[in-house]
Amino acid sequence: MQITEDALKRAWHQIAAGSDLLNDAMFPPTGTSPDQYTQRAGDPDGLFLVLDEDGTVHGHHGPYVPVFTTRDLDQVLYFAAEEAVTRLVEHTRSSTLGLATNLVTEQAEMLDRIDPAWGRRFRSGGIDGTQTAQPCGRDPLERLAWIADSWREQDPYTHLAFFRGKDVSAEQIALLHGADPEQIATGMRLSDLRAMEAGRDHGDIAWESCCFGRAGDWVFLMYHETPPGIRADHAALSRLGVTETVHLSATAAKAIYDFTYTRDGRRIDDGWGMLELIWYKEGRAPYYRGGQLDFLNQAIRRAELDHPELVDTFDLYFHALDDALGLQLPQQDLKDGTVRAALWARSNSGRG
**What pLDDT, in 10s, does the model give residues 22-59?**
876 678 989 999 888 877 666 667 899 999 999 999 99
Phi and psi angles of residue 295, each rounded to the nearest 5 degrees, phi first: -60, -30
Over 80: is that where the pLDDT of 89 sits? yes
Residue 24, pLDDT score:
60
Instruction: Go through 191-212 and write b for each residue having 16 or more CB atoms within 10 A of its CB, e for each that does not.
Output: ebbbeebeeeeeeebbebbbbb
Whether the Cβ atoms of residue 168 and residue 239 lie closer than 8 Å to each other:
no
pTM: 0.91
How much is the mean pLDDT over the chain? 89
Neighbouring C-beta atoms of residue 228, cutoff 10 Å: 8
Confidence of residue 97 (pLDDT cuts 50, 70, 90): low
Over 70: is that where the pLDDT of 118 sits? yes
131 secondary structure, DSSP code: S
Q: For residues 243 and 292, give the distance between their C-alpha atoms in angstroms, rounded to a whole number.
A: 16
Average pLDDT of the segment spanning 321-347: 93
Helix segments in the chain, DSSP class H: 5-17, 37-40, 73-95, 103-114, 116-124, 148-151, 170-176, 181-185, 190-196, 202-207, 234-239, 294-306, 313-325, 331-336, 345-348
Residue 19, pLDDT score:
86
